[in-house]
């Protein structure tokens, strides 16, 4: 194993480890998908499969390949189950480039693969083909990918990633609580509309994170002038990545309750904007307000909320704080982009006006929220 470039700088970050390489994605794979075990998968699913592989690697110390002596010139290469899986996941490299931000596990995998490619000059996409035989030297190169993965797992940037996500989730939770409290106390009534925005399964194979962010940008642009968002007072959005659902958006929109009172109707209108105007039929939507009977009435935080109803207001805060959870975090995103956002409508940024005749007697305590 060569070691000239094996050890990263002591202060290396995920950004440093990825941008050290200049790797483009494969357009054919990125926009058409990749067949794996008979299933056509896309970028989001590829992220999940690679993350699962990294978890498997870190659970033990086994290597993917064993080179058994057969003759002085050509050892017999024996593939373990880990080795067979490695050849499958390196076939997914075409979904990724060196110009995005990645989660710690995805970063470790990509860095390890690209490093081995640059050191030894091997073609990993070619080796992903099962009918290509491996000689002893090539098998050792693949073993080095796993060795490097385990080294990455011991680095500070890898070990602190999960705690960083928890801290960010806590900060988002507190900020969301204070913003929603401000909105609810300013208006006599606030109509809260929750809409989950996602994509049809048939679109997942050709869906990239860049396309998702383009759709998000259109949504955030339209909220400032589209008639559907008239009387908007504030909003919360969270972009997530599920193991089966893929990339999807959770959104909550707050409207002046004296002007907008038909919450489910407003939810369907927002869904139509997403499906027809933004995604061109690629997307789908779930309107939470149309299924309020499915929720515990004592914890319901959507619909028309009276600012004097302290229980409903605190339920609304908890409901919108749920969007700040970390469980379905993005594994990759364009450099510098956020996966969560809140805000007031441009015309409501100061929330100034005549004080209410009767003040609400409830109060949100910073840190109060998800149980």
Are 115 and 200 contained in the same domain? no
Question: What local confidence, expressed as pLDDT, does residue 276 receive?
Answer: 98
Are 92 and 46 contained in the same domain? yes
Low-confidence winner among 119-133, 180-194, 239-253, 270-284 (lowest mean pLDDT): 119-133
222: domain CATH number? Answer: 3.30.70.1430
What is d(CA 231, CA 229) in angstroms, rounded to the nearest whole number? Answer: 6
**Domain residues for 31?**
14-159
Place of tokens 């050890």: 7
What is d(CA 234, CA 20) in angstroms, rounded to the nearest whole number? Answer: 40
Question: What local confidence, expressed as pLDDT, does residue 193 receive?
Answer: 98
Are 27 and 173 contained in the same domain? no
Question: What local confidence, expressed as pLDDT, does residue 369 receive?
Answer: 45
Question: What local confidence, expressed as pLDDT, does residue 370 receive?
Answer: 39
- Tell me whether residue 354 is in a domain: no
Are 179 and 155 contained in the same domain? no
Are 177 and 133 contained in the same domain? no
Place of tokens 């504030």: 234
What is d(CA 267, CA 263) in angstroms, rounded to the nearest whole number? Answer: 6
- Tell me whether residue 7 is in a domain: no
- Among 96, 130, 159, where does a domain finish? 159
What is the value of pTM for the model shown? 0.91
- Tell me whether residue 60 is in a domain: yes
- Tell me whether residue 201 is in a domain: yes
Are 64 and 124 contained in the same domain? yes
- C-alpha distances in Å from residue 42, one per residue of 28, 31, 183: 11, 8, 39
More confident residue, 67 or 303: 303
Are 130 and 19 contained in the same domain? yes
Low-confidence winner among 124-133, 191-200, 237-246 (lowest mean pLDDT): 124-133
Work out the angle between the directed axes of helices 81-89 and 43-58 (0-180°, nearest 10).
150
User: pLDDT for 354-363, tens place per residue?
Assistant: 556 666 778 7
- Tell me whether residue 320 is in a domain: yes
User: pLDDT for 39-95, tens place per residue?
Assistant: 999 999 999 999 999 999 999 999 999 988 766 667 788 999 999 999 999 999 999
Q: What percent of the chain has pLDDT over 70?
A: 91
Task: Check pLDDT > 50 for residue 2.
Answer: no
> In a 10 Å sphere around its CB, with 0-12 CB exposed, 13-18 middle and 19+ buried, how is residue 12 labelled?
middle
- Tell me whether residue 360 is in a domain: no
Phi, psi of 197 (to 5 degrees): -110, 130
33 dihedral zone (left: phi>0; alpha: psi -120 to 50; beta): left
Are 191 and 52 contained in the same domain? no
- Tell me whether residue 37 is in a domain: yes
Are 301 and 173 contained in the same domain? yes
> To which H or E segment does residue 165 belong?
helix 161-186
At 31, is the pLDDT very low, low, confident or very high (cuts 50, 70, 90)? very high
Are 116 and 230 contained in the same domain? no
Domains contained in the chain, number: 2
Task: Check pLDDT > 70 for residue 371.
Answer: no
- Among 159, 190, 212, where does a domain finish? 159
Question: What local confidence, expressed as pLDDT, does residue 359 receive?
Answer: 67
What is d(CA 143, CA 112) in angstroms, rounded to the nearest whole number? Answer: 11
Place of tokens 């048939």: 202
Are 276 and 312 contained in the same domain? yes
- Tell me whether residue 6 is in a domain: no
Mean pLDDT of the chain: 91
Task: Check pLDDT > 70 for residue 10.
Answer: no
Are 276 and 176 contained in the same domain? yes
In this structure, which long-range contacts are made by residues 150-153, counting pairs with CB atoms below 8 Å and at least 24 apart in sequence? 150/57, 150/58, 150/61, 152/17, 152/107, 152/108, 152/111, 152/112, 153/58, 153/108
Task: Check pLDDT > 60 for residue 348.
Answer: no
């Amino acid at each position: 194993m060569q070691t000239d470039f094996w050890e990263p700088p002591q202060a290396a970050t995920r950004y440093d480890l990825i941008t050290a390489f200049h790797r483009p994605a494969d357009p054919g794979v990125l926009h058409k998908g990749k067949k794996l075990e008979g299933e056509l998968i896309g970028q989001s699913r590829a992220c999940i499969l690679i993350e699962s592989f990294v978890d498997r690697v870190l659970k033990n110390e086994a290597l993917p390949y064993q080179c058994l002596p057969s003759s002085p010139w050509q050892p017999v290469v024996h593939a373990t189950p880990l080795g067979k899986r490695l050849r499958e996941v390196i076939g997914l490299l075409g979904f990724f480039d060196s110009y995005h931000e990645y989660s710690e596990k995805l970063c470790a995998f990509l860095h390890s693969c690209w490093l081995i490619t640059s050191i030894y000059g091997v073609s990993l996409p070619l080796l992903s083909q099962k009918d290509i035989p491996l000689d002893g030297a090539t098998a050792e190169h693949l073993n080095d990918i796993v060795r490097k993965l385990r080294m990455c797992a011991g680095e500070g940037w890898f070990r602190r990633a999960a705690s960083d996500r928890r801290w960010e989730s806590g900060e988002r939770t507190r900020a969301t609580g204070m913003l929603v409290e401000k909105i609810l106390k300013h208006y006599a009534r606030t109509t809260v509309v929750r809409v989950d925005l996602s994509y049809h399964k048939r679109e997942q194979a050709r869906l990239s994170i860049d396309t998702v962010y383009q759709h998000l940008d259109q949504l955030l642009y339209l909220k400032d002038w589209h008639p559907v968002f008239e009387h908007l007072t504030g909003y919360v959005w969270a972009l997530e990545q599920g193991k089966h659902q893929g990339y999807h958006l959770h959104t909550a929109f707050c409207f002046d309750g004296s002007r907008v009172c038909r919450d489910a109707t407003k939810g369907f209108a927002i869904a139509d904007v997403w499906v027809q105007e933004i995604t061109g039929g690629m997307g789908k939507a779930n309107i939470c307000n149309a299924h309020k009977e499915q929720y515990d009435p004592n914890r319901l935080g959507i619909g028309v909320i009276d600012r004097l109803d302290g229980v409903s207001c605190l339920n609304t805060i908890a409901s919108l704080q749920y969007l700040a959870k970390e469980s379905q975090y993005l594994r990759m995103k364009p450099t510098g982009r956020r996966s969560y956002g809140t805000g007031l409508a441009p015309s409501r940024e100061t929330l100034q006006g005549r004080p209410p005749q009767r003040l609400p007697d409830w109060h949100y305590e910073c840190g109060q929220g998800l149980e």
